[in-house]
């Protein structure tokens, strides 16, 4: 079905097939074309379909009158038609055609996929999920496929790929900022991206799938042919409520796996991650797919994984590992990535690339050509005598992995270098993370600078105190400071550094804003750390520094602690 050719009748039939129609309603007899699908009443134009979704902060049914006033021709919602009609009548409006559904989130995904003609079915589609490493793995796999495409000559070998990730839309080696503040866009935009990839000649689509996106059905009606898991650790319990629910959301990606006549679906997961080793097979068994093609990968010799990472090394150019796979296939993988945890990402990308038919030579080249993921162990160098990095570590597990990797670098060098870490914890998110992240910082860092990271409407000082408790609980007893303003915290951290030291700013990574109250202020750790280093060296400061005026930037407010 070409995009934009579905009718209202098609939608009603499809909702019935998917058991998402609460009440069959008589629609106009003529085959009226299905208009674009919207959930935000402010985006509705004449002839559009408006779907009333209930979010965390508001109920979309309250905005049906606004959507009708803007010209919505068809409305979908979970409320009874009489209730919605009365709400419209209260605003002097007449409710147009209405379909009562069981689940508005699912209906939004179903209507969006129908409007675009199910573009995932025109592509080989790969889903990648996990707590950490998703974006880097998407980047590595995209680079592998780009190498395979270029090596295949004029025809491309079926390896032309696009991707949807935290960084935006990736197509033909170019990254376009999606403008979204979520990794997995809403169902309409993700279907639009898949349709665009298909229209531009892509044969493969790679999707970074978050637990939020999966739980909110944003990826429904996307037939996945290949699924990859990085790891599953403690995260997002503020949203999911329990760790079991979080794991369930991650594993729900397996519900999307679909066999094709020319390709059997497969899943690849981390044999070094105990949660994945239990949860993935359990889910496959629960959905009757326990016989599915399953590969594993591991950094531990003797685990009998499908793919093994042997002889890992930290080299001047990054990480090296020898990958050994099915049929004694082997590849020498070297990536310009910092941190031993990236070996797992390299192995997963290798296993996915191999399943997609990429030769090992293209896998080696693609990983070697990958420049690194913005905001993931990204070096910042303006000529200072110590090393500085920006990293997205914002969970206990990723903080542990990032700081322990940097500690091992310093230990191997044996030149007395110290590790100075700057980070905070987000407000209105899982409070239990704060002490755990503080404990990780205390274990591995020599000095910690605690600061702001999206405090939202919580008290920033209270957040910092919870982090301090975690630092104080660790045996290493690192020194720490509290500097509420993040720009001042970065300046303080680099001022402490000596030659051979490593300074790392954790938590914000690639992000472009920071939330205080309900306002998003422009902010980039990547630029802010560079500015701090330039100030330290007396280099002319980038004029963009003037945009970074955070509410905390009214003079330093530091509390020094010796951690003893």
The pLDDT of residue 402 is 95
The pLDDT of residue 247 is 96
Examine the pLDDT at 244 and tell me if it is beyond 90: yes
d(CA 160, CA 4): 25
pTM, full prediction: 0.88
* DSSP result, 414-425: TS---EEEEE--
> Where residue 261 falls among pLDDT bands split at 50, 70, 90?
confident
Pairing of strands 49-51, 161-165: unpaired
Number of H helices, E strands in the chain: 17, 25
> Where residue 181 falls among pLDDT bands split at 50, 70, 90?
very low
> Where residue 474 falls among pLDDT bands split at 50, 70, 90?
confident
Q: What value does the mean pLDDT take over residues 370-390? A: 95
> Where residue 128 falls among pLDDT bands split at 50, 70, 90?
very high
First to last CA, the chain: 68
Q: What angle do CA 481, 483, 484 make, to 5 degrees?
A: 140
Q: What value does the mean pLDDT take over residues 489-518? A: 96
> Are 367 and 334 a contacting pair, CB within 8 Å?
yes
Phi, psi of 456 (to 5 degrees): 55, -130
Helix (H) or strand (E) run with residue 221 in it: none
| Burial grade of 177 (CB within 10 A; 0-12, 13-18, 19 or more) | exposed
The pLDDT of residue 107 is 98
To the nearest whole percent, how much of the chain has pLDDT over 70? 93
d(CA 205, CA 193): 9
The pLDDT of residue 27 is 81
> Where residue 58 falls among pLDDT bands split at 50, 70, 90?
confident
All structural domains of the chain, each given as residue ranges with its CATH number in brackets, are: 8-114 (3.40.1390.10), 118-297 (3.40.1190.10), 378-561 (3.90.190.20)
Pairing of strands 419-423, 447-450: parallel
The pLDDT of residue 180 is 43
> Where residue 561 falls among pLDDT bands split at 50, 70, 90?
low
> Are 447 and 563 a contacting pair, CB within 8 Å?
no
Examine the pLDDT at 268 and tell me if it is beyond 60: yes
d(CA 491, CA 500): 18
d(CA 139, CA 158): 18
Examine the pLDDT at 139 and tell me if it is beyond 50: yes
Half-sphere exposure of 3 (CA within 13 A, CB side): 18
Helix (H) or strand (E) run with residue 205 in it: strand 204-208
DSSP H helical segments within 153-217, as ranges? 187-199, 211-215
């Amino acid at each position: 079905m070409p995009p934009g050719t579905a009718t209202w009748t098609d939608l009603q039939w499809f909702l019935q097939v998917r058991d998402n129609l609460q009440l069959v309603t008589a629609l106009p007899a003529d085959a009226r074309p299905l208009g674009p699908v919207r959930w935000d009443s402010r985006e509705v134009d004449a002839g559009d379909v408006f779907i009333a979704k209930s979010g965390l902060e508001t109920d979309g049914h309250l905005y049906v009158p606004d959507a009708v006033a803007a010209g919505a021709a068809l409305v979908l919602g979970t409320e009874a038609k009489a209730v919605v009609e009365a709400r419209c009548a209260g605003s002097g409006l007449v409710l147009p055609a209405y379909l009562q559904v069981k689940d508005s989130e699912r209906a939004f995904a179903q209507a969006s996929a129908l409007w675009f003609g199910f573009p995932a079915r025109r592509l080989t589609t790969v889903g990648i999920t996990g707590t950490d490493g998703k974006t880097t793995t998407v980047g590595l796999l995209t680079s592998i496929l780009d190498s395979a495409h270029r090596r295949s000559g004029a025809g491309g070998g079926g390896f032309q790929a696009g991707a949807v990730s935290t960084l935006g839309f990736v197509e033909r080696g170019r990254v376009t900022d999606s403008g979204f503040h979520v990794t997995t866009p809403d169902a309409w935009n993700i279907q639009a991206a898949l349709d665009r990839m298909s229209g531009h000649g892509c044969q493969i689509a790679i999707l970074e799938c978050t637990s939020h996106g999966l739980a909110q059905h944003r990826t429904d009606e996307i037939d996945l042919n290949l699924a990859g898991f990085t790891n599953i650790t403690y995260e997002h319990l503020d949203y999911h409520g329990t760790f079991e629910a979080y794991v369930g959301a991650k594993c729900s990606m397996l519900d999307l796996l679909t066999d094709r006549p020319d390709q059997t679906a497969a899943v690849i997961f981390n044999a070094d991650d105990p949660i994945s080793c239990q949860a993935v097979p359990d889910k496959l068994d629960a959905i009757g797919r326990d016989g599915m093609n399953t590969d594993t990968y591991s950094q531990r010799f003797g685990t009998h994984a499908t793919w093994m990472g042997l002889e890992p090394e930290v080299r001047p150019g990054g990480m090296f590992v020898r990958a050994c796979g099915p049929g004694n296939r082997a590849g020498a993988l070297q990536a310009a990535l910092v941190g031993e945890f990236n070996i797992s990402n390299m192995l997963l990308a290798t296993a996915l690339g191999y399943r997609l038919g990429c030769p090992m030579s293209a896998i080696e080249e693609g990983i070697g050509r990958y420049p690194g993921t913005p905001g993931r162990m990204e070096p910042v160098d303006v000529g200072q005598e110590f090393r500085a990095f920006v990293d997205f570590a914002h969970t206990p597990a990723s903080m542990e992995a990032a700081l322990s990797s940097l500690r091992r670098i310093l230990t191997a060098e044996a030149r007395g270098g110290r590790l100075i870490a700057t980070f905070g914890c987000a407000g209105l998110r899982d409070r239990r993370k704060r002490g755990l992240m503080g404990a990780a910082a205390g274990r591995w860092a020599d000095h910690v600078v605690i600061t702001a990271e999206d405090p939202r409407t919580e008290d920033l000082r209270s957040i910092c105190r919870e982090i301090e408790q975690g630092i104080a609980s660790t045996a290493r007893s690192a020194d720490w400071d509290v500097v509420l303003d993040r720009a001042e915290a970065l300046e303080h951290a680099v001022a402490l550094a000596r030659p051979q030291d490593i300074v790392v700013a954790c938590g914000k990574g690639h992000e472009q804003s920071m939330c205080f109250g309900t306002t998003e202020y422009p902010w980039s750790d990547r630029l802010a750390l560079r500015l701090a280093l330039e100030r330290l060296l007396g280099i002319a400061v980038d004029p963009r520094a003037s945009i970074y005026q955070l509410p905390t930037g009214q003079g330093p407010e530091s509390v020094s602690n010796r951690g003893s």
